[in-house]
């Protein structure tokens, strides 16, 4: 089961080059991690660009970014209409908070897409605080996937928590630690226009939680590219789906959490994450768009 993932797309030449990469990889679905057209009124142009490159039946699956969640620079409701859900059995609210198992029968991956830390039309963020309805929805989706024996759990959202780019922990410390505590295999985000992939991090022993901007080596469970499922979580930000890049801060206090990173000032690259999941292994790599050379790869094996 192959899928691609990236966010922060735009409607320019970079977006088109990345869509060409996705088309060439021919994945079963693409996770579009928010920030699509960047401007009100560009929804149809964006959707036309995507369907022109990938076809009208391709599952280009949406989770909103901050640029369309509150309607100011575009409207997630319009994107949802012109790039509707294509995954059978999807539950929740497509575009904002949804989950789907792929394939629907004998699934290999449960995808859980959520929207903490960004403003919506009511003026504020949705409530993902500890014990809230959305927190419980997320936690139950993870627990149930494990109970059902689905091999892999992938959580996606627009905003990261840990980042070497410009952004702080918009996803929320508690919510992020809940994902780690539950040993979600892979957490994907965009928002910071960089690529960054963490080591596998986990709670337990002398690591009771990960604190943003405060590195603790005690929370690293595996630091090479060959990982074992069940030890912790890998975070990947793929905010390089087409728009202008941001710098990475090589001296960021969180740098110890990361294995690979790329930004405007360090091996810059637009591109996509490319993930192939089987019942025994999840293999991921960064595939750069034409004209870029940065790459990264890691494998998680099931015990």
Determine if 252 is a binding residue for Fe ion (CB under 5 A): no
Determine if 73 is a binding residue for Fe ion (CB under 5 A): no
* Dist CA 42 CA 23 (whole Å): 22
User: Of 34-42, 85-93, 174-182, 199-207, which part binds Fe ion (CB under 5 A)?
Assistant: 34-42
Q: What angle do CA 275, 302, 169 make, to 5 degrees?
A: 60
Q: Which is nearer to Fe ion, 212 or 239 (CB)?
A: 239
Smallest distance from the beta carbon of 90 to Fe ion, in angstroms? Answer: 24
Smallest distance from the beta carbon of 15 to Fe ion, in angstroms? Answer: 12
Q: Which is nearer to Fe ion, 35 or 254 (CB)?
A: 35
What pairing do the DSSP bridges indicate for beta strands 234-238 and 195-198?
Answer: antiparallel
Determine if 35 is a binding residue for Fe ion (CB under 5 A): yes
Radius of gyration, CA atoms only, the chain = 17
- The CB-nearest residue to Fe ion is 35
Smallest distance from the beta carbon of 241 to Fe ion, in angstroms? Answer: 9
* Dist CA 177 CA 185 (whole Å): 13
User: Of 3-11, 143-151, 179-187, 221-229, which part binds Fe ion (CB under 5 A)?
Assistant: 3-11
Smallest distance from the beta carbon of 48 to Fe ion, in angstroms? Answer: 20
Report which of 205, 273, 199, 283 is spatially closest to residue 240, judged by C-alpha positions: 273
User: Of 6-14, 103-111, 117-125, 263-271, which part binds Fe ion (CB under 5 A)?
Assistant: 6-14
Burial class of residue 283, CB neighbours in 10 A (0-12, 13-18, 19+): middle
User: Of 31-39, 52-60, 105-113, 160-168, which part binds Fe ion (CB under 5 A)?
Assistant: 31-39
HSE on the CB side for 53, CA within 13 Å? Answer: 22
Residue-wise burial string across 43-70, b where 16 or more C-beta atoms lie within 10 A, e elsewhere? beebbebbeebbeeebbbbbbbbbbbbb
From the CB of residue 252, how many other CB atoms can be counted at a distance below 10 Å?
Answer: 18
Pick one of 8, 68, 75, 296: the residue that binds Fe ion (CB under 5 A): 8
Smallest distance from the beta carbon of 82 to Fe ion, in angstroms? Answer: 20
User: Of 7-15, 139-147, 209-217, 276-284, which part binds Fe ion (CB under 5 A)?
Assistant: 7-15
Instruction: Specify whether the CB–CB gap between 159 and 117 falls below 8 A.
Output: yes
Q: Which is nearer to Fe ion, 35 or 252 (CB)?
A: 35
Which residues in this chain contact Fe ion in the complex, by CB under 5 A? 8, 35
């Amino acid at each position: 089961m192959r899928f691609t993932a990236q966010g922060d797309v735009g409607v320019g030449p970079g977006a088109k080059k990345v869509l060409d990469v996705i088309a060439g990889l021919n994945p079963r679905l693409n996770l579009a991690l928010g920030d699509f057209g960047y401007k009100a009124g560009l929804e149809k142009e964006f959707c036309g660009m995507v369907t022109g490159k990938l076809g009208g039946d391709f599952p280009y699956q949406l989770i909103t970014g901050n640029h369309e969640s509150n309607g100011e620079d575009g409207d997630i409701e319009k994107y949802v209409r012109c790039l509707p859900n294509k995954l059978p059995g999807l539950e929740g609210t497509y575009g904002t908070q949804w989950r789907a198992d792929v394939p629907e029968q004998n699934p290999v991956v449960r995808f859980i897409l959520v929207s903490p830390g960004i403003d919506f039309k009511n003026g504020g963020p949705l409530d993902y605080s500890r014990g809230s309805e959305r927190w419980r929805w997320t936690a139950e989706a993870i627990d149930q996937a494990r109970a059902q024996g689905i091999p892999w759990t992938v959580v996606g959202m627009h905003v990261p928590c840990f980042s070497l780019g410009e952004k702080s922990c918009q996803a929320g410390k508690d919510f992020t630690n809940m994902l780690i505590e539950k040993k979600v295999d892979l957490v994907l985000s965009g928002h910071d226009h960089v690529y960054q992939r963490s080591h596998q991090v986990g709670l337990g022993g002398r690591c009771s939680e990960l604190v943003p901007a405060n590195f603790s080596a005690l929370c690293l469970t595996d630091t090479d590219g060959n990982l074992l499922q069940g030890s912790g979580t890998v975070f990947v930000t793929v905010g390089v789906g087409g728009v202008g890049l941001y710098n990475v801060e090589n001296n960021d206090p969180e740098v110890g959490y990361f294995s690979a990173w790329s930004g405007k000032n360090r091996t810059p690259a637009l591109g996509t994450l490319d993930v192939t999941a089987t019942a025994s292994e999840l293999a991921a790599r960064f595939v750069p768009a034409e004209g870029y050379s940065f790459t990264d790869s890691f494998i998680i094996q099931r015990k």
